[in-house]
Amino acid sequence: MSAELPRETDNAFLGKSVKGGSHEPTYAGALSFMRRRYSRDLTGIDLAVWGIPFDASVSNRPGARFGPQGVRRASAIFDGDPQYPFEMDPFEVLACVDYGDCVFDYGRNADIPGHIQSQASDILASGAHLFSIGGDHFVTYPLLKAHVAKHGPLALVQFDAHQDTWNDEGDRIDHGTFTGRAVREGLIDPDRSIQIGIRTHAPETCGLEIIHGYEMDELGIGGVTDRIKARVGNGPAYMTFDIDCLDPAFAPGTGTPVSGGLSSREALSVLRGLGSLNFVGGDVVEVAPAYDHADITSIAGASVALTYIGLLAEKRKQAG
C-alpha cells in the first residue's frame, strides 16, 4: 500500500474551492495565475485575473503578447504561502479565478479595442474586481473605457518610463498615446492623476503630475507615496504598471527599456503604501518574456500583481 500523497496537482482545473492556496509543486501542474481555478463563472467571485495577449501597437520590440503566459508561469513560485509583506494568503480572503485570455482575431486589429472593452465590461458587470495582464500598454485604453462606464472618470496612477501622451488622430492603435487620448476623452481626471518613474520626454503632460525617475532618491519611498495619495485623493482610481518603469537591470524583458528606472524593491514598496486608495481596477503590461533572463521580468510582473491583490485583500480583511 503506497503512502498517501501529501499534495495535489492541477488546481487550475481540479481545485475544490476558489479560495486558498493549492500547495502543489511549483515546477509541475497546469499553470494559471497563482494556480487559481480557470473559470468563466463569476458567480460569487471577488476578483478576476485576465490576460490580454496583444502587442500589435508597439513602437520598438514586440513580444508582450506572451506576457500573460510569462506572468502566470512566474507566479507559480509564490503559490500556497503567506504573501510578503502582507503576512497572509490573499486568496483566503478573496474569491479569485483566472478568467483566461481575451478573445480576438489577430488579423483584424481595428476590431480588437472593442473586443477588449466589451469583454472587460462583461467581467465588471458581474461585480468582480478586474486585474488584467498585458499585452502592450495600448490595452489600458479600452480597459479604462470599460471601467469608466461603470465608475465614471478615474484617477490614473501610472508607473512607467514613458508619459504615453503622444498625439494621434483618435483612431490609431499605439501604446504611446493612450494616456493623452484618455485625458482628451474625459476618461481620466488629469488633476487627480500621476505618473511615477518617467524617464523620457513627450510633447505635453496633459495636466498629469509627474514624478521623474531621478526624483526617487530625492523623495524616498515615503515621499513618493505621499505625493501619490495627495494627488489621487479618495475618489475611484485605476492603477496601470508598465514594467519598463523598472530599470532594465530589474526588467530586461520588455519592449522599450530605459535606463535609470526604479528597482523592484522601490516600486513594490511604493505600491505597498497605496492601500488607502480606492482602486477599482488595475493592470500590469509590457512584459515580453523573449527578452527576459531567468524570468526576472515575469517575476517582477507577478509580484506587482500580487502586491496589488494584497492591497485589495488587506482592505477587505480590515473591513471585516
Nearest to 174 by CA among 80, 268, 57, 285: 57
User: What confidence score (pLDDT) does residue 153 get?
Assistant: 98
The C-alpha cell 492541477 sits at 10
Q: What is the mean pLDDT of the chain?
A: 93
- Supply the range of the domain harboring residue 119: 11-318
Integer Cα distance of 303 and 308 in angstroms: 9
Q: pLDDT per residue over 84-118, tens digit each? A: 999 999 999 999 999 999 999 999 999 999 999 99
- 3-state secondary structure labels for all residues of 147-212: HHHHHCCEEEEEECCCCCCCCCCCCCCCCCCHHHHHHHCCCECHHHCEEEEECCCCCCCCCCEEEE
Integer Cα distance of 178 and 21 in angstroms: 36
H or E stretch at 103: none
What is the percent of the chain with per-residue pLDDT over 90, rounded to a whole number? Answer: 82
- 8 Å CB contact between 9 and 24: yes
Per the domain annotation, does 3 fall within a domain?
A: no
User: What confidence score (pLDDT) does residue 143 get?
Assistant: 98
Residue 1 has pLDDT above 80, yes or no: no
Residue 220 has pLDDT above 90, yes or no: yes
| Annotated binding residue 244 | yes
Report CA-CA distances (Å) from 44 to 40, 51, 97, 120.
Answer: 12, 20, 11, 17
Residue 3 has pLDDT above 70, yes or no: no
Higher-confidence residue of 190 and 10: namely 190
Per the domain annotation, does 2 fall within a domain?
A: no
Integer Rg of the chain from CA: 19
Q: pLDDT per residue over 18-43, tens digit each? A: 888 877 888 888 899 999 999 999 99
Residue 2 has pLDDT above 90, yes or no: no
Per the domain annotation, does 43 fall within a domain?
A: yes
Integer Cα distance of 274 and 314 in angstroms: 11
pTM of the model: 0.95
User: What confidence score (pLDDT) does residue 262 get?
Assistant: 98
| Annotated binding residue 242 | yes
| Annotated binding residue 137 | yes
| Annotated binding residue 115 | no
Per the domain annotation, does 4 fall within a domain?
A: no
Per the domain annotation, does 172 fall within a domain?
A: yes
User: What confidence score (pLDDT) does residue 256 get?
Assistant: 95
Per the domain annotation, does 155 fall within a domain?
A: yes
Report CA-CA distances (Å) from 125 to 4, 49, 141, 146, 173.
Answer: 43, 15, 18, 10, 26
Give the model's confidence band at 7: pLDDT under 50 very low, under 70 low, under 90 confident, else very high.
Answer: low
Higher-confidence residue of 246 and 7: namely 246
What is the percent of the chain with per-residue pLDDT over 70, rounded to a whole number? Answer: 98
Integer Cα distance of 303 and 311 in angstroms: 12
User: What confidence score (pLDDT) does residue 124 get?
Assistant: 98
Integer Cα distance of 203 and 201 in angstroms: 7
CATH number at residue 109: 3.40.800.10
Least-confidence region, from 55-59, 216-220, 286-290? 55-59
Q: What share of the chain is helix, strand, coil (3-state, %, to 5)?
A: 40, 15, 45
Number of domains in the chain: 1
Q: Kind of pairing, strands 155-159 and 278-285?
A: unpaired
User: What confidence score (pLDDT) does residue 13 get?
Assistant: 85
Q: Give me the mean pLDDT over the 266-272 stretch.
A: 98
| Annotated binding residue 160 | yes
Positive or negative torsion for Cα 162, 253, 139, 33 = negative
Q: Give me the mean pLDDT over the 161-189 stretch.
A: 88
Q: pLDDT per residue over 187-215, tens digit each? A: 999 999 999 999 999 988 999 999 999 99
Per the domain annotation, does 216 fall within a domain?
A: yes
Q: Which triple of cell numbers denotes residue 277?
A: 486608495
Per the domain annotation, does 271 fall within a domain?
A: yes
